[in-house]
Amino acid sequence: MHSRDPQKNDSEFQKEFDAILKAAAASNATANFTGFVFPSANYEGREFLAKCEFVLAIFMQEANFRRASFEHEANFICVTFTQKAIFNSAMFKQEAYFHGATFTQEAGFYGARFKQEAEFSDAKFAQEADFQRAQFLASAEFRETVFREGDKLSPGPVFSMAEFSHPESVVFYKTNLGQALFHNCDVSKVTFSSVEWRMPKGGGRRMLFDEEVDLETASDLRVGRNSHDERDYGLIAELYQQLKKNYDERKDYWAAGDFHYGEMEMKRLHSCSRRPWVRWLHRNLGLVAWYKYASSYGESYLRPMLVLAIILSVFTALYPLA
């Protein structure tokens, strides 16, 4: 069961796996798969009726736990998934621990439901981590979790339409969210501590990856036929507003200011008109645009001082003529 021999008998392995799981469920014990090397893992729709320990296990092929149900604690600490890990629509009725797990390819938790604590601290996601429509009904921790980052415009962690029933118990700590997607997900009370948000290439304010993500991988941000925006700026502005509120309540006004800037930028870019010249006027000469030019949406004190100095200089020069 612990052998890494790629030629080992998979059917015999699965028989032993089933026997351990059945015996543990019958005796209300723990099904211990610590250090097991799984030649295959197709457990779609499987009911795991016992507490499962997959500590340090290695999945050599795709790990398919789609629609699986874990009645008791599921422990995937320090597990290595060498291929895709699929937990879409899986049900975790007790604690689910993925502390230190390594996902070398895509990790799918689309529609997964975590009824108790979900722990992904120190986990490493080399590719996309899909938590779309996932339900976190208790606490969730992503402490020092490593998500994908780089120059590509493909997402890392995707939490769009995820549900945090107790957002005050959801923590992102010392993790990079530069390629994270949170649209259609209420993050106004989630704890973001020492996280890294996306930064423009030239540096400056924090921004959201939703502004730059390739729309082929983020269909929710595409606009309908009645809109001529490049992407759904209203949806992104809503997310900026939630983050601004989040950081304001924590008295982190610098970060809140960055998200306020982002919210106003989305309002400047959004236009209901279909005519290109009207859209250009709105973006470059509208009231919101002048608000940006004059004070960076209230976030700059140098610009108003400069404008005041220019006005005073001009009127001082004109006064003798008058």
Q: At what angle do helices 287-295 and 276-285 cross, to 10 degrees?
A: 30
Q: Is the pLDDT of residue 259 over 80?
A: yes
User: What is the percent of the chain where pLDDT is above 70?
Assistant: 100
Query: Buried (b) or exposed (e) across 220-245, using 16+ Cβ within 10 A?
Result: bbebeeebebebbbebbbebbbbbbe
pLDDT in tens, 36-74: 999 999 999 999 999 999 999 999 999 999 999 999 999
| Total residue length of the chain | 322
Segment 206-215 mean pLDDT: 94
So where are the chain's domains? 10-196
Write down the pLDDT at residue 81: 98
Q: Is the pLDDT of residue 16 over 80?
A: yes
pLDDT in tens, 284-293: 999 999 999 9
Q: Name the more confident of 197 and 300.
A: 197
The CATH code of the domain at 10-196 is 2.160.20.80
Alpha carbon distance 244, 238 (integer Å)? 10
Q: Is the pLDDT of residue 264 over 90?
A: yes
Asked if 31 and 24 count as a contact pair (C-beta separation under 8 A), the reply is yes
Write down the pLDDT at residue 228: 87
User: What is the percent of the chain where pLDDT is above 90?
Assistant: 85
Give the residue carrying structure tokens 């890294």.
196
Segment 256-270 mean pLDDT: 96
Cα–Cα nearest to 166, from 133, 132, 189, 142: 189
List of E strands, 256-305: none
Cα–Cα nearest to 257, from 270, 269, 240: 240
Write down the pLDDT at residue 250: 94
Asked if 52 and 31 count as a contact pair (C-beta separation under 8 A), the reply is yes
Mean pLDDT of the chain: 94
pLDDT in tens, 109-156: 999 999 999 999 999 999 999 999 999 999 999 999 999 988 788 999
Q: Is the pLDDT of residue 166 over 90?
A: yes
Write down the pLDDT at residue 170: 97
Q: Could you tell me the CA-to-CA distances from 122 to 28, 145, 237 in Å, in that order?
A: 30, 5, 31
Asked if 125 and 157 count as a contact pair (C-beta separation under 8 A), the reply is yes
